[in-house]
Structure 1
Amino acid sequence: MKKNIVIAGGSGFIGQALIRSFHRHGHHLYILTRQASEHFTPCENIHYIQWMKKEAGDLFAKLPESIDCMINLSGASINSGRWTRKRKQLLLHSRLQSTDTLIRFIEQVKTKPCLLISASAVGIYGTSNTDTFIETSSHGNDDFLSYLASVWEKSALKAEQFGVRTVCARFGIVLGQKGGALPLLNLPYRLFIGGKIASGNQWLSWIHIEDLVQLILFIIDNQEIRGPVNFTSPNPVTMEKFGRIQAKVLKRPYWLNIPGRLVRLALGERSLMAIKGQRVLPQKALDAGFRFRFNDLEEALLDLLTKRSIEK
């Protein structure tokens, strides 16, 4: 059955993968973008709508009366620049501003959307080399990422008071051929300087972009799923294991050790993403019967680096 799907933040890596998949399924898509719609090539069933700018006009008048799903991916990239005080304010404000706009829309329209899926991150749990986190685990409170994700989710969950099923998609490290973390992670190996980062014991909870897209589709069709959902493979790995599998797939050496202090010097507080991690399991997806295609990291990397890709 064809659905009306609204995507905020559709110009990014995850958004583009979702758009391609939804379009193949014949759904009607409404992409909310900060850019003027004339910057995009028209396509059947894909409508680009400018928002978050004064000249964008009335958002309510441009969206369909009946919306099956709203997906919120908006927010400045956490992977760009040092996390200065000003940058942190931008990361927080960009997420809350877009989410609050969608909540106001939900509040005012007569026919409420059936579902809101709002992006979040596994960073909400904080970091640990020993603990395992599932959706019912407590939130961390000792770093910026856990704070950012907690505040973002709290804003999105306001949709529940209007009877809208709400899912907070806690993304792990998303692996894709043309986006996400993989191209940057591959770079040292392509330059023959790949190796262990910091202790190598930090956990990396990853997911193949194709499984991410399929899990979104699964959630749309399974109305009992709500609240936080971990978007991670059932088999997280340590950073050292990840690097050794990368080296094997890319046929490159694994030899250089990069001390954590050098990473902190280069990236500042953002180094948290490289030298610390969390072991996260997708318990809610597994309990609901979702079957991951890519459980094994080596299989996922072989698919992305040597075979076809959902991004093509």
Structure 2
Amino acid sequence: MKIVIAGGSGFIGNKLSNLFISEGHEVSILTRKEKSTAKDVSYVKWLNNGATPEKELENIDVFINLAGVSINDGRWSEKHQKQIYDSRMEATDELLRIISKLPKKPAVFINASAIGIYPVSLDNEYTEASIYTPNDFLGRTVDDWEKKAKLVGQYGTRTVFMRFGVVLGDDGGALPLMVLPYKLFAGGTVGSGKQWVSWIHVADVVRAIAFAVKNNNLNGPVNITSPNPVNMRDFGKTIGVVLSRPHWFPAPSLLMKVALGQKSKLVLEGQKVLPKVLLKEGFEFSFPTLEKALKDLLG
């Protein structure tokens, strides 16, 4: 297959590109910067004045959109929130424009999304069939993002919204910061400890995206989370067990709010999200439990 990835050089995109290349697919990565085409991957400029990526993309089978300013970087100031929102809208608009210019439309469009679309809750359990109303910055951002990406359906392209949970990796994502206090023998419960962490190993994220590309039954929202979410207290305790470090210094909610501002919601609040669609379609997780995932990443 010929596969185009926007955001293909990032934390998830780099691993995804390597997987597709190993399977013998042709991969093109959309980039703002000038890069020389390598042996296994081609780079195509986009989102620059005068860039016409559609002229370099022919007979593409799959478009994957992972582009957007990271929600993990920087404090959630009004300016940063605007960057998070605008970067997702801009990238998706440009992908829609590119696809509109192609004589042959892609069979599949995979758009990154997030479980932040579901309202935070200690009691609710969310699946792809849940009824909800996005009620905060992240929820409304994801909702608008999915609505825009859905427009690609006008071309008869199967569209999947990959709602990522907390992605765990040893070279990016949230885990390195979560682990640091334990390495300094200062780890402990964050906030109340009751908030849900719907996590997933980055290797399973990459495999799930590839699964969605090949599985024609997948359409619309797909939760990309482990089947075994845990609360924050148990998450911290498991880090302590895996690293053989104590779990005793609590991080009060007020301290986290002062340190992180509105972004503190990412660690102080959460939602229990289950990957019902993936399980129904027979996807097998390599790392279904947190302990197994952390042993692999921190071992």
Q: TM-score, normalised by structure 1?
A: 0.94
- 2:8 aligned partner: 10
- 1:285 aligned partner: 278
Instruction: Check the 8 A contact 1:126/1:278 in 2, yes or no.
Output: yes
CA-CA distance at 1:142 after TM superposition: 2.2
> In the alignment, is residue 248 of structure 1 matched against residue 241 of structure 2?
yes
Q: What amino acid sits opposite 1:150 in the alignment? A: D
Count of residue pairs brought into register by the alignment: 299
CA-CA distance at 1:182 after TM superposition: 1.1
Q: Matched residues in 1 for 2:46 and 2:132: separation? A: 32
- 1:43 aligned partner: 38
> In the alignment, is residue 274 of structure 1 matched against residue 267 of structure 2?
yes
Q: Deviations over 1:7-62 (max 9, x none)?
A: 00112100011011111111110000111114xxx43230011110115x211111
Q: Matched residues in 1 for 2:133 and 2:267: separation? A: 17
Q: What amino acid sits opposite 2:96 in the alignment? A: I
- 1:19 aligned partner: 17
- 1:310 aligned partner: none
Instruction: Check the 8 A contact 1:27/1:45 in 2, yes or no.
Output: no
> In the alignment, is residue 29 of structure 1 matched against residue 27 of structure 2?
yes
CA-CA distance at 1:68 after TM superposition: 1.4
Q: Matched residues in 2 for 1:69 and 1:233: separation? A: 25
Describe how 1:1-312 pairs up with structure 2 within 5 A.
Answer: 3-38=1-36, 42-55=37-50, 57-63=51-57, 65-306=58-299
Q: Matched residues in 2 for 1:223 and 1:179: separation? A: 30
Q: What amino acid sits opposite 1:48 in the alignment? A: Y
Secondary structure of residue in 2 paired with 1:141: coil
Q: Any gaps of 5 or more consecutive residues in structure 2?
A: none
Instruction: Check the 8 A contact 1:198/1:259 in 2, yes or no.
Output: yes
Amino-acid identity (%): 47
Q: Matched residues in 2 for 1:21 and 1:249: separation? A: 28
List, as ranges, runs of 4+ consecutive aligned residues in structure 1 with deviation greater than 3 Å: none
Q: What amino acid sits opposite 1:116 in the alignment? A: F
Out of 29-38 and 238-247, give the one that drifted further. Answer: 29-38
Secondary structure of residue in 2 paired with 1:36: coil
Pairwise CA RMSD of aligned residues?
1.0
Q: Any gaps of 5 or more consecutive residues in structure 1?
A: 307-312
Secondary structure of residue in 1 paired with 2:264: helix
Secondary structure of residue in 1 paired with 2:226: coil
Instruction: Check the 8 A contact 2:72/2:174 in 1, yes or no.
Output: no
CA-CA distance at 1:303 after TM superposition: 1.0
Q: Matched residues in 2 for 1:300 and 1:82: separation? A: 28
Secondary structure of residue in 2 paired with 1:37: coil
Secondary structure of residue in 2 paired with 1:230: strand
Q: What amino acid sits opposite 1:11 in the alignment? A: S
Secondary structure of residue in 2 paired with 1:54: coil
CA-CA distance at 1:138 after TM superposition: 2.6
Q: Matched residues in 1 for 2:31 and 2:76: separation? A: 25
Q: What amino acid sits opposite 2:79 in the alignment? A: K
CA-CA distance at 1:112 after TM superposition: 0.3
Q: Matched residues in 2 for 1:245 and 1:85: separation? A: 35
Q: TM-score, normalised by structure 2?
A: 0.98
Q: What amino acid sits opposite 1:109 in the alignment? A: L
CA-CA distance at 1:169 after TM superposition: 0.4
CA-CA distance at 1:118 after TM superposition: 0.5
CA-CA distance at 1:107 after TM superposition: 1.8
Instruction: Check the 8 A contact 2:134/2:143 in 1, yes or no.
Output: no
